[in-house]
Amino acid sequence: EAAIAGAAVGASLLGLKPVAEIMYMDFMPLSMDQLVTHAAKLHYFSGGQLEAGMILRTQYSLGRAHGAQHSGFLPAWFLQAPGLKVAVPSTPYDAKGLLNAALKERGPVLFVEGAMLYKSKGEVPEGYFEVPFGEAEVKRGGKDITVVAISRMVPEALAAAESLASSKGIEVEVVDPRTIQPLDKRTIVDSVKKTGRLVVASDDMKTGGVGAEIGATVYEEAIDYLKAPLVRVCSPDIPVPFAPPLEREYMPNAQKLEQAIEKLFA
């Protein structure tokens, strides 16, 4: 992993556009020196004379019984790496568009894929298009509560939203950030100002996760609009279990999200 990332950095400095792969996100610590200490900072080190225009793809296998060494979703680790952009697509359309956009980036991009999404189906234009970094998408409109869902939790959030609309009359707005660095704070804050409630749904651990950063942003910019406390539907702060029944209990899902939303309206 260190060699893969290091070779990509070197190739980018020679004018190539490497697209390298780290097989599992849990292996990313082995490549963090090359990615975070060097690739992300070369622009700043050199006064803009050097750019590590590279893409590092990785995936997390939560939900496939691959064990604690292959299943972790660790996006928050990379939020404190100025110069590095982080994409977390949830649909085939977004995956293609974000990858095209990443190929045009002058700096490094970490492209995080949820393995459980690999069999997803969706409309994808044959021609060239880009999904800009830093532009969230409202996947479903709603007036009662905002759910910011990341990666695998986007389809789970949409399923929960449909169930709540039909059973409780609760209209859920589902926001997909699509990139978490940069994060489209404005779309999230505007949605919360409209609905007055926020749930963040993500596969990473609750403590120090992306949900905490999103929640802090909303508290800083829209606290007067909130009708209820922030709720995070995330993974617990333990290693991912290997046994499938335990892993299913560990994972956030549509049912857990639906229950969390119902409590806010109880």
Instruction: Calculate the average pLDDT of the chain.
Output: 97
- Which H or E run includes 145? strand 145-149
**Does the pLDDT value for residue 227 go beyond 90?**
yes
Domain borders along the chain are 2-117, 137-264
Cα 212 to Cα 175: distance, rounded to the nearest angstrom: 16
pLDDT, position 146? 99
pLDDT tens-digit readout, 48-81: 999 999 999 999 999 999 999 999 999 999 999 9
**What phi, psi does 263 have (nearest 5°)?**
-65, -35
- pLDDT interval class at 242 (50, 70, 90): very high
Question: If you search the block for the tokens 């993500």, which residue do you land on?
Answer: 202
CATH of domain 2-117: 3.40.50.970
**Does the pLDDT value for residue 266 go beyond 90?**
no
43 annotated active-site: no
Stretch 226-230: mean pLDDT, rounded?
Answer: 97
Whether the domain at 2-117 and the domain at 137-264 fall into the same CATH topology: yes
Write the DSSP symbol of residue 183: B
The verdict on domain 137-264 having CATH code 3.40.50.920 is yes
Q: Do β-strands 55-60 and 19-22 pair in parallel, antiparallel, or remain unpaired?
A: parallel
Q: What angle do CA 206, 207, 212 make, to 5 degrees?
A: 75
Q: Which of 38, 43, 66, 70 is catalytic?
A: 70
pLDDT tens-digit readout, 114-148: 999 999 999 999 999 999 999 999 999 999 999 99
pLDDT, position 247? 97
Beta bridge partners of 145: 172
Question: If you search the block for the tokens 């406390």, which residue do you land on?
Answer: 229
Q: What is the helix, strand, coil percentage profile of the chain, to 5?
A: 40, 20, 40
**Does the pLDDT value for residue 194 go beyond 90?**
yes
Query: Do the beta carbons of residue 52 and residue 39 sit within 8 Å?
Result: yes
CA 200 to chain centroid: 11
pLDDT, position 180? 98
Q: What angle do CA 7, 75, 88 make, to 5 degrees?
A: 85
Could you tell me which residues come within 8 angstroms of residue 177 by beta carbon, excluding any fewer than 6 positions away?
88, 136, 148, 150, 183, 184, 188, 214
pLDDT tens-digit readout, 3-50: 999 999 999 999 999 999 999 999 999 999 999 999 999 999 999 999
pLDDT, position 175? 99
- pLDDT interval class at 112 (50, 70, 90): very high
pLDDT tens-digit readout, 140-188: 999 999 999 999 999 999 999 999 999 999 999 999 999 999 999 999 9
Stretch 218-237: mean pLDDT, rounded?
Answer: 97
